[in-house]
């Protein structure tokens, strides 16, 4: 059994807990929290909740620690800190800052003799893998990434800051026509507006000016002004009933040419359609936790990304079983 | 520069030649053929064509030999034979016989101190990778593979053996409704007939009994009797003009559940839409040739499959570049 620890018990941490339950070779050993441990109730019976500050004391009980904090402030500190003591997995998703995060984590992991796998999830993560495989196979081509249909947390937060808005949720929706053009091999140049639309479900405060709210949302710079945005006003009950989920997904497509005179076109498309963004991300984290453990058992150390991990390390099956059943 | 040799110059060999042209770090060094070398004209200027029997003499000039023979009789002999002298890539695609092929190749590659990567292409190959990743991430789920729309060589051959048929081509077509059901997360049990239809374009001999041909095709055991099959009679010119390509593709979909009570569903879908089946397969072979060379440079030996190769080995970019541009 591979003994897993979870650091941070929000949506992602709970998702990791659920994913561990589905994997017979993994065992949840402890949850670490920055809240008062006594106030945190987890789903798995008999598993202790400890203070994050006490994690070092439990280093011997944990094979891989899955870091479930945020990318803005938690992970830049936590991943280097904890990989000096644990093999770790994180879902660091600030694309631009990945190189510096990698360097800091790599140094700490090597000093600690541990393996850290960073930026695990679906984007970065599975989408990155598909971009990379497709680029290696079709060097002459164009990449497209579409997101959705799904809830954007950042855009939902932006709606809630608009005057007169009590609550709200925003969906990012890929434009079907643009997808079809890409799939046709035409390699279109697509503007921001042509790729995605945005749909908002808004609960207004009593007596609020609905037309003003709609305009404030649709013209909001950076968030909405470059998109065709639809605003629906609904009741608080409707929001709870129909929009409490956290679905997401998207498409990574590469359109590329082969042949002596580039006469043939090929489309490689990868699509995710997820009922729960955090639970799916957690499922990816858990598969890579298995890989981190195995790599460290083989004597490897340092920081890795999904690009550096041979696929077989993610599976509980042996090489022989994989060749027999999946190849 | 990584020096590549091609063994066997048919559709696949020519595809490899075209793919090498698109990769700046790869160089075609020689083509080996079982035909009389003087009768084989290749596209790349200044590259020699040698007799396959003389390959051993050129072992020092080649970093990776890409084997472009067939799986029925060529590769079971060629791959073990040539990997004692060369790092090799093959596209062995008889799924059931992969385990025994692996064992024989592994032994020969280890003895020769070389790396062999077998069963490279899209199925087996990229489809296998996607099955494996998706299974590792969503342990609780169902797998679906659909093929097409594309030309099935075996079914086209079968048509041509029917009495009164001069020439013909068969397309395998996935049933759109079945795909939609799978994408909906319903996890349907689908019969053979529900998953694919078959469409045949037939050139009949003069005076042949068309109704009889249609019936002979539609009732042919193993090939057509379990499918809804459409037969179109066309002229030889139409066949040449509209059906001379070798398109193919397909879908690998996993539908899986997460959550404490498996309350959330997720769809992972991988799709290929290929204008030229052999050219795309060749492009995959060439990317894995890069990996074989690098692994052998690191001192690795033995037989590998796509499951054993970390994605970064396929790309000409450095780890740093990949993290910066693709993660």
Indicate yes or no: CB of B99 within 8 angstroms of CB of A324.
yes
Provide the 10 A C-beta neighbour count for residue A200. Answer: 24
pLDDT at position B311 is 98
Nearest to A52 by CA among A28, A69, A73, A27: A69
Q: Which of A43, A124, A323 sits opposite B327 (nearest CB)?
A: A124
| CA separation for the pair B150, B146 (Å, rounded) | 11
Distance from CA of A80 to the nearest CA of B (A): 18
pLDDT at position A73 is 94
- B11: closest chain A residue by CA: A259
* B189 token code pair: 């049990």
From chain A residues 73-92, the ones with a CB under 8 A of any chain B CB are none
Indicate yes or no: CB of A98 within 8 angstroms of CB of B306.
no
A129 touches chain B (CB under 8 A): yes
From chain A residues 295-314, the ones with a CB under 8 A of any chain B CB are 305-312, 314
pLDDT at position B86 is 98
pLDDT at position A156 is 95
From chain A residues 35-74, the ones with a CB under 8 A of any chain B CB are 43
Indicate yes or no: CB of A307 within 8 angstroms of CB of B323.
yes
Write the burial class of residue A307 (CB in 10 Å: 0-12 exposed, 13-18 middle, 19+ buried).
buried
Q: Determine how β-strand B248-258 pairs with β-strand B141-147.
A: antiparallel
Of all helices (H) and strands (E), which one includes residue A79? helix A74-83
Indicate yes or no: CB of B305 within 8 angstroms of CB of A315.
no
| CA separation for the pair A98, A104 (Å, rounded) | 10
B chain contacts of residue A22, beta-carbon cutoff 8 Å: 139-140, 258
- The per-residue pLDDT string of chain A (327 residues; one tens digit each, 9 = 90 and over) reads 999 999 999 999 999 999 999 999 999 999 999 999 999 999 999 999 999 999 999 999 999 999 999 999 999 999 999 999 999 999 999 999 999 999 999 999 999 999 999 999 999 999 999 999 999 999 999 999 999 999 998 999 999 999 999 999 999 999 999 999 999 999 999 999 999 999 999 999 999 999 999 999 999 999 999 999 999 999 999 999 999 999 999 999 999 999 999 999 999 999 999 999 999 999 999 999 999 999 999 999 999 999 999 999 999 999 999 999 999
What are the residues whose beta carbons fall under 8 Å from the beta carbon of B3, sequence distance 6 or more?
Answer: B27, B29, B61, B62, B63, B64
- B265: closest chain A residue by CA: A275
User: Is the preceding peptide bond at A154 cis, omega within 30 degrees of 0?
Assistant: no
What are the residues whose beta carbons fall under 8 Å from the beta carbon of A29, sequence distance 6 or more?
Answer: A3, A4, A5, A47, A61, A62
- B264: closest chain A residue by CA: A275
In a mutagenesis test of the B interface, which of A125, A246, A264 is the best target, namely the one with the most B β-carbons within 10 Å? A264
* A162 token code pair: 């608009």
Provide the 10 A C-beta neighbour count for residue A71. Answer: 18
| CA separation for the pair A52, A77 (Å, rounded) | 13
Nearest to A109 by CA among A137, A149, A81, A68: A81
pLDDT at position B289 is 98
Edge-first strand listing for the sheet containing B165-174: B150-151, B165-174, B196-204, B228-233
Nearest to A148 by CA among A218, A221, A72, A199: A199
pLDDT at position A86 is 98
Dihedral, A54, A57, A61, A67 alpha carbons, nearest 10: 40
Distance from CA of A1 to the nearest CA of B (A): 16
**Residue ranges of the alpha helices (H) in chain B?**
11-21, 74-83, 98-112, 126-137, 153-160, 176-183, 192-195, 210-218, 236-242, 277-297, 319-325
* A182 token code pair: 């890409």
What are the residues whose beta carbons fall under 8 Å from the beta carbon of B16, sequence distance 6 or more?
Answer: B4, B6, B66, B68, B282, B285, B286
B chain contacts of residue A270, beta-carbon cutoff 8 Å: 130, 269-271
What are the residues whose beta carbons fall under 8 Å from the beta carbon of B278, sequence distance 6 or more?
Answer: B11, B12, B14, B15, B246
Give yes or no for a contact between B154 and B170, defined as CB atoms under 8 angstroms apart.
no
pLDDT at position B90 is 98
N-term to C-term CA, chain A:
26
* pTM listed for this prediction: 0.96
Indicate yes or no: CB of A269 within 8 angstroms of CB of B269.
yes
What are the residues whose beta carbons fall under 8 Å from the beta carbon of A164, sequence distance 6 or more?
Answer: A204, A205, A208, A209, A210, A212, A213
Indicate yes or no: CB of B320 within 8 angstroms of CB of A99.
yes
Polymer length in residues for chain A = 327
Polymer length in residues for chain B = 327
Give the residues across from B198 on adjacent strands. B172, B229
B chain contacts of residue A258, beta-carbon cutoff 8 Å: 15, 18-19, 22, 275-276, 279-280, 282-283
B chain contacts of residue A21, beta-carbon cutoff 8 Å: 260
Q: Which of A136, A283, A324 sits opposite B287 (nearest CB)?
A: A136
Helices (H) and strands (E) in chain A, counts: 11, 14
Nearest to A1 by CA among A27, A22, A40, A39: A27
Separation in Å, CA B270 to CA A322, B127, B143, B266, B273: 19, 8, 12, 13, 10
B12 touches chain A (CB under 8 A): no
Query: pLDDT averaged over consecutive 10-residue blocks of chain B (327 residues)?
Result: 98 98 98 97 97 97 97 96 98 95 98 98 97 98 97 94 97 97 95 96 97 97 95 97 96 98 97 98 98 98 98 98 96
pLDDT at position A144 is 98
In a mutagenesis test of the A interface, which of B103, B267, B311, B316 is the best target, namely the one with the most A β-carbons within 10 Å? B311
Give yes or no for a contact between B222 and B122, defined as CB atoms under 8 angstroms apart.
no
Separation in Å, CA B131 to CA B122, B271, B294: 12, 12, 26
pLDDT at position A98 is 96
pLDDT at position B56 is 96
Q: What is the DSSP letter of A92?
A: -
- B254: closest chain A residue by CA: A272
């Amino acid at each position: 059994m591979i003994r897993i620890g979870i650091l941070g018990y929000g949506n992602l941490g709970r998702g990791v807990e659920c994913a561990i339950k589905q994997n017979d070779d993994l065992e949840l050993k402890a949850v670490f929290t920055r809240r008062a441990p006594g106030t945190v109730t987890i789903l798995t019976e008999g598993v202790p909740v400890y203070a994050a500050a006490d994690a070092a004391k439990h280093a011997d009980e944990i094979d891989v620690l899955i870091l479930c904090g945020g990318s803005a402030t938690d992970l830049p500190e936590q991943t280097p800190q904890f990989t000096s003591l644990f093999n770790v997995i994180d879902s660091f998703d600030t694309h631009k800052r990945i190189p510096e995060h990698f360097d800091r984590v790599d140094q700490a992991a090597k000093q600690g003799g541990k393996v850290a796998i960073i930026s695990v999830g679906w984007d970065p993560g599975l989408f990155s893998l598909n971009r990379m495989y497709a680029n290696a196979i079709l060097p002459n081509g164009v990449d497209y990434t579409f997101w959705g249909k799904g809830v954007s947390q950042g855009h939902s937060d932006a709606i809630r800051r608009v005057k007169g808005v009590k609550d709200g949720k925003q969906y990012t929706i890929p434009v079907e026509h643009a997808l079809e053009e890409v799939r046709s091999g035409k390699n279109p140049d697509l503007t921001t507006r042509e790729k995605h639309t945005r749909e908002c479900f808004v609960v207004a405060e009593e007596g609020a000016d609905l037309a003003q709210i709609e305009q404030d949302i649709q013209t909001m710079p950076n968030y909405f002004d470059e998109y065709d945005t639809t605003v629906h006003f609904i009741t608080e009950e409707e929001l709870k009933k129909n929009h409490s989920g956290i679905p997401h997904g998207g498409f990574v497509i590469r359109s590329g040419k082969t042949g002596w005179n580039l006469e043939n076109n090929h489309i490689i498309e990868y699509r995710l359609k997820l009922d729960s963004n955090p639970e799916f991300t957690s499922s990816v984290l858990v598969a890579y936790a298995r890989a981190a453990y195995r790599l460290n058992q083989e004597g490897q150390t340092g920081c890795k990304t999904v690009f550096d991990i041979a696929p077989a390390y993610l599976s509980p099956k042996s090489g022989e079983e994989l060749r027999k059943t999946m190849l």
